[in-house]
Amino acid sequence: MQQISDGTKISFDTNKIQLKEYVLQLFNVNTVQELVQNNEATAIIHKHHSVAVIDKKFIELYRELLNVISLYMGTSKFYYQKITSFRVHKIGKKTVNFHSDAWYGHGQKVITAWVPLVATNEHNTIWVSDSKTSDELNERFRKERLSISETNKLMDKCSKPQIMNYGEILLFNSRTQHGAHVNLSNEHRMSFDFRILMHGDSPGAKPLHEFYQEFGAKKIDLTPCLYYLYTRNPLMENLSHSAQRNLINSYCSANRLRESKEITEIHGVDHYPFLRHYLKNENFKNIVMASMMCLPVDRALRSEILYLAESNNIELHFTLENRKSSNTSVDEINNYYDQIMVAKEKLKPLL
């Protein structure tokens, strides 16, 4: 396998992989400068995210880019970031402070790929340090408890601008310090980046199957499940349906489940009619809820529901606890619930 050093640059054929043309067509403009000038950065990023996972053309272009990286590395045994991160560096603006991707939970051996959609200059490009210096700076940051401003000054002195053309990919390690300056040039910059994780390496704090996709893997059929939303309980009473749904989405993505139906428990009653109905009468073998605390406060009713799920071979998934009813006993769930209730009573004076 080809080793990746900090600042490794590889090229792709822009006539075959027409990333810039795709983005320009998406916004119905002729140039990147026109696109950035006429749109807010947040609007550009939001639109990119909205198509990154569903637009077949972009997915095809992304895979072709991954093929280039795979050929360079000499291996196809890696995972890649599912949704690319899009960046806009406007004239007179700064994008990010100096940092390493490891600061944000990426594994120590993760590779970052950075792809500009324009030719860059020293003012609008990314500035990158080297691994040895970055490790030393990271250690100083931790030991001396440096502020972000102090850290930026140190890293600024130890990094170099990466002057690149459209059609080039910059590769560096997740521990490597990098950042950007205020764009003092007269050229806006657009770029996107993503991460590569080799088989066997740690993804860090990023859930593997939620954040990454295996390169070259065949499409896996996801198991259908029922989303169950309920707010009338001690823990979830301030968590909206939308927030619960986001938690459940994240859990399902990591556990290869897909939403088949969503229900919200009937408001104003305490006997859980909808949940009991789906445990008895519907053909859902997986029901996902935001927490064990979505179960009834009444211990007897809670136990009845848990035993009902068990007798009907239905798996209850508890997102916040990252547990399932099949590997958590009724007593364990009840004890956990009781401990949360005790803690809630102790916190009442502060609420």
Read off the pLDDT of residues 111-130 as tens digits, 9 standing for 90 and up.
999 999 999 999 999 999 98
Q: Does residue 138 lie in a domain region?
A: yes
Give 5-42 pLDDT, tens digit per residue. Answer: 677 999 999 999 999 999 999 999 999 999 999 999 88
- What is the model's pLDDT at position 303? 96
Q: Does residue 3 lie in a domain region?
A: no
- What is the model's pLDDT at position 174? 92
Query: pLDDT tier at 351 (50, 70, 90 boundaries)?
Result: low
Q: Look up tokens 């070259």; give the residue.
A: 216
Look up the domain containing 308 and give its range.
Answer: 223-350
- Cα separation, 263 vs 109, in Å, equals 41
Residue 319 has pLDDT above 70, yes or no: yes
Backbone angles phi, psi at 108, to 5 degrees: -65, -25
- What is the model's pLDDT at position 9? 94
* Paired tokens of 1: 């396998």
CA atoms within 13 A on the CB side of 299: 11
Residue 4 has pLDDT above 80, yes or no: no
Same domain, residue pair 197 and 85: yes
Same domain, residue pair 326 and 204: no
pLDDT mean over 261-271: 89
Residue 109 has pLDDT above 90, yes or no: yes
Residue 93 has pLDDT above 60, yes or no: yes
> 114: which strand partners?
170, 193
Same domain, residue pair 197 and 250: no
Give 194-246 pLDDT, tens digit per residue. Answer: 999 999 999 998 888 888 999 987 767 789 999 999 987 777 677 888 889 98
* Paired tokens of 207: 């859930």
- What is the model's pLDDT at position 119? 96
- What is the model's pLDDT at position 350? 65
HEC-encoded secondary structure of 109-132: CCEEEEEECCCCCCCCCCEECCHH
Of 5-9, 139-143, 213-217, 345-349, the range with the highest mean pLDDT is 139-143
Percent of the chain residues topping a pLDDT of 90? 70
Of 30-34, 280-284, 344-348, the range with the highest mean pLDDT is 30-34
Structurally, the chain folds into a number of domains equal to 2
Q: Is the dihedral of CA 285, 226, 56, 80 positive or negative?
A: negative
Residue 147 has pLDDT above 70, yes or no: yes
Contact 193, 104 (CB under 8 A): no
- What is the model's pLDDT at position 34? 95
Contact 91, 187 (CB under 8 A): yes
pLDDT mean over 321-327: 95
Contact 317, 324 (CB under 8 A): yes
Same domain, residue pair 204 and 227: no
Q: Select from 214, 235, 261 the last residue of a domain.
A: 214
- Cα separation, 326 vs 339, in Å, equals 21
Q: To the nearest whole number, what is the mean pLDDT of the chain?
A: 91
* Paired tokens of 54: 């569903």
pLDDT mean over 320-338: 95
pLDDT mean over 166-186: 95
Q: Hey, what's the torsion of the CAs at 230, 235, 238, 240, to 10 degrees?
A: -40
Same domain, residue pair 16 and 40: yes
Same domain, residue pair 174 and 236: no
Same domain, residue pair 266 and 338: yes
pLDDT mean over 278-301: 93
Give 46-63 pLDDT, tens digit per residue. Answer: 888 777 777 889 999 999
Same domain, residue pair 50 and 70: yes
CA atoms within 13 A on the CB side of 109: 9
pLDDT mean over 81-87: 91
Q: Select from 188, 214, 240 the last residue of a domain.
A: 214
